């Protein structure tokens, strides 16, 4: 992707989660851009499917995948979109992809990393620690510190693929529907 196409695609991803133009003034530009620059990788079997979902986002919006791996922002946006479209779609509610995305960002504790406190309250290294904790499955048994924490886990969430973590989370939080 050219730099211009890359910038346009980044803007589309941000818009999908409710951050409208100009992205630089949304309050989360630095966080979003860091998630965009962070490669997504999987340590658990079948989590590579979440990477494929992220890469399919490029095709969906006219930005061919080329040979670039999925990034964390793409994976999170794609997971939020799939949650809304494939699992909990209800035309009465409209598109709730952004709600699912921000729920995961909040579960990770990334919602506190606003632009206005960048450099004073937080640095890129702080976000990187959270991202690596997620990617390396270094969160708690119950998923606390990850995307989808559970109150009553039946298995160690560090060993469960993200798709099944999502299913368990939705079952436990059925009031979200």
pLDDT tens string, the chain, 177 residues long: the values are 566 667 888 989 999 998 875 555 568 888 999 999 999 999 999 999 999 999 998 888 888 766 678 999 999 999 999 887 766 656 666 677 898 999 999 999 999 888 888 777 778 899 999 999 999 999 999 999 999 999 999 999 999 999 999 999 988 887 544
Cα distances (angstroms) measured from residue 33 to each of 38, 61, 113, 128, 175: 9, 18, 12, 12, 32
| Cβ contacts of 125 within 8 Å, gap of 6 or more | none
CA 83 – CA 78 distance, rounded (Å)? 8
**Amino acid 177: pLDDT:** 46
Q: State both tokens at 146.
A: 């990850």
106-135 CB burial, b ≥16 within 10 A, e <16: ebbebeebebeebeeebeeebbeebbeebb
**Amino acid 71: pLDDT:** 95
Q: Are 32 and 23 in contact (CB under 8 A)?
A: yes
Q: Where are the domains of the chain?
A: 3-176
| Cβ contacts of 113 within 8 Å, gap of 6 or more | 28, 30, 31, 122, 126, 127
Q: How many C-alpha atoms does 4 have within 13 Å on its Cβ side?
A: 0
**Amino acid 90: pLDDT:** 62
**Amino acid 119: pLDDT:** 73
CA 145 – CA 147 distance, rounded (Å)? 7
**Amino acid 32: pLDDT:** 93
**Amino acid 173: pLDDT:** 80
């Amino acid at each position: 992707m050219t730099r211009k196409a890359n910038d346009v695609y980044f803007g589309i991803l941000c818009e999908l989660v409710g951050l409208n133009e100009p992205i630089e003034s949304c309050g989360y530009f630095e966080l979003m851009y860091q998630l965009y620059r962070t490669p997504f990788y999987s340590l658990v079997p079948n989590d590579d499917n979440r990477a494929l979902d992220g890469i399919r986002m490029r095709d969906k919006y006219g930005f061919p995948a080329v040979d670039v791996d999925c990034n964390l922002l793409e994976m999170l946006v794609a997971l939020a979109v799939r949650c809304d479209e494939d699992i909990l779609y209800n035309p009465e509610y409209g598109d709730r992809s952004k709600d699912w995305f921000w729920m995961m960002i909040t579960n990770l504790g990334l919602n506190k990393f606003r632009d206005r406190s960048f450099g004073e309250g937080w640095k890129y290294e702080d976000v990187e620690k959270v991202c690596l904790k997620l990617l390396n499955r270094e969160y708690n048994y119950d998923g606390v510190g990850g995307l989808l924490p559970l109150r009553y886990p039946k298995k160690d969430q560090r060993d469960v693929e993200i798709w099944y973590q999502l299913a368990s989370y939705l079952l436990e939080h059925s009031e979200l529907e």
